[in-house]
């Protein structure tokens, strides 16, 4: 079966934090959204989030997500000439303890962004919210070694596990979309925390697997969907823009009681790129 989603917009959000003890650099929030129906082309929206001195634990909330979503929806419309019929939102960097607060706040931001784009507030596309987790300790191996792939006898690319070791109630699955080159292949853990479109498990598994084959930097399938990688790249590129524009070495840090000599406005100017660059997937 071929999964056809020609009028969707795929997007991924990631947050890159400063290193522990580094209060000079802000956190960087990056959101990328597809601007074609394939999807192969993406556009990025970047925001800086100043880390609070008194913060004890980091909560992965994107403070200006509503405006970021509006930017990407407008970019999609300019390229395709219609609004997305549904939004599939991949979210990275969220622990299980933060699923609820991140889902509630960011789902509200997505919906409010859609409502703002029509005068009568009639634009309400279904939203599917999927958390992608890479930092876990789950590994799989073939029951029969002869079915293993490569020198390390890993599970074949495309192997999906959605029973036994998954949550007994929630909608989650493990997907190993890549061929392990060295060592044991590590699957990605996908957690569907909200789904207005009522996708079947097979549909979302196939969709996630297909997106792992569209990464522009690699001719092979990768371990997580391409927009996840693109959000990482956009966030790290913004970090380098700050280091260059503000003349701030990327490895330096200050004590927790130090002050940041760089203003928020300077950070914002540093991560801003021209419109022409935005159209060319500069982060790749």
CATH code of the domain in which 117 resides:
3.30.420.10
DSSP 250: T
Q: Residue 233 CB: number of other CB atoms within 10 A?
A: 20
Beta strands, E only, 18-83: 27-34, 42-49
pLDDT of residue 1: 34
Statement: residue 251 has pLDDT above 60: no
The per-residue pLDDT for range 2-42, each reduced to its tens digit, is: 344 445 677 777 788 776 655 446 889 999 999 987 888 99
Most confident of the ranges 6-15, 164-173, 247-256: 164-173
Gap between the Cα atoms of 13 and 29, Å rounded: 7
In a domain, 171, yes or no: no
Number of domains in the chain: 1
What predicted TM-score, i.e. pTM, was given to this entire model?
A: 0.86
Report residue 102's pLDDT band, with 50, 70 and 90 as the boundaries. Answer: very high
In a domain, 60, yes or no: yes
The per-residue pLDDT for range 198-247, each reduced to its tens digit, is: 999 999 999 999 999 999 998 989 999 999 999 999 999 998 998 888 77
Q: Are 111 and 72 in contact (CB under 8 A)?
A: no
Lookup result for tokens 């509503």: 66
Mean pLDDT of the region 78-82: 91
pLDDT of residue 284: 92
Q: Residue 10 CB: number of other CB atoms within 10 A?
A: 23
Percentage of the chain modeled with pLDDT above 70: 86
DSSP 154: B
In a domain, 1, yes or no: no
In a domain, 143, yes or no: no
pLDDT of residue 254: 47
The token duo for 215 is 């990464």
In a domain, 157, yes or no: no
Which range marks the domain in which residue 54 is found? 8-132+192-208+228-272
In a domain, 216, yes or no: no
Q: Around 218, how many Cα atoms within 13 Å sit in the side-chain half-sphere?
A: 16
All residues at 6 or more sequence positions from 127 whose CB lies less than 8 Å from its CB, including other chains:
86, 87, 89, 107, 110, 111, 194, 196, 197
Report residue 185's pLDDT band, with 50, 70 and 90 as the boundaries. Answer: confident
Mean pLDDT of the region 241-267: 67
Beta strands, E only, the chain: 8-16, 27-34, 42-49, 86-92, 127-133, 159-161, 171-176, 188-195
Q: Residue 69 CB: number of other CB atoms within 10 A?
A: 28
In a domain, 266, yes or no: yes
Q: Are 233 and 222 in contact (CB under 8 A)?
A: no
Mean pLDDT, the chain, whole residue set: 85
Q: Are 194 and 126 in contact (CB under 8 A)?
A: no
pLDDT of residue 187: 94
Gap between the Cα atoms of 281 and 40, Å rounded: 10
Q: Are 212 and 226 in contact (CB under 8 A)?
A: yes
pLDDT of residue 3: 43
Beta strands, E only, 134-261: 159-161, 171-176, 188-195
In a domain, 261, yes or no: yes
Q: In what side-by-side order are the strands of the sheet with 86-92?
A: 42-49, 27-34, 8-16, 86-92, 127-133, 188-195, 171-176, 159-161
């Amino acid at each position: 079966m071929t999964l056809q989603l020609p009028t969707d917009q795929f997007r991924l959000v990631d947050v890159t934090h400063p290193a522990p003890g580094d209060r000079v650099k802000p956190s960087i929030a990056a959101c990328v959204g597809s601007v074609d129906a394939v999807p192969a082309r993406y556009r990025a929206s970047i925001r800086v989030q100043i880390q609070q001195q008194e913060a004890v634990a980091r909560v992965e909330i994107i403070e200006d997500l509503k405006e970021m979503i509006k930017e990407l929806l407008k970019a999609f419309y300019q390229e395709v000439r219609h609004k997305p019929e549904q939004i599939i939102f991949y979210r990275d960097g969220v622990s299980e303890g933060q699923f609820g607060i991140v889902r509630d706040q960011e789902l509200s931001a997505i919906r409010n962004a859609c409502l703002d784009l029509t005068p009568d507030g009639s634009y309400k596309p279904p939203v599917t919210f999927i958390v992608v987790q890479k930092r876990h300790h789950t590994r799989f191996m073939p029951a029969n070694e002869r079915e293993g792939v490569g020198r390390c006898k890993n599970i074949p690319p495309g192997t999906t596990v959605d029973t036994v070791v998954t949550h007994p109630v929630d909608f989650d699955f493990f997907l190993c979309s890549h061929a392990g080159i060295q060592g044991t292949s590590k699957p990605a853990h996908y957690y569907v925390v909200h789904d207005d479109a009522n996708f079947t498990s097979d549909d979302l598994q196939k969709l996630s697997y297909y997106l792992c084959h569209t990464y522009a930097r690699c001719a092979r399938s990768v371990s997580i969907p391409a927009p996840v990688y693109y959000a990482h790249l956009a966030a790290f590129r913004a970090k380098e823009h700050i280091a260059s524009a503000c003349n701030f070495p990327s490895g330096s840090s200050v004590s927790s009681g130090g002050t940041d000599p760089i203003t928020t406005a300077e950070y914002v100017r540093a991560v801003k790129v021209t419109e022409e660059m935005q159209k060319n997937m500069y982060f790749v």
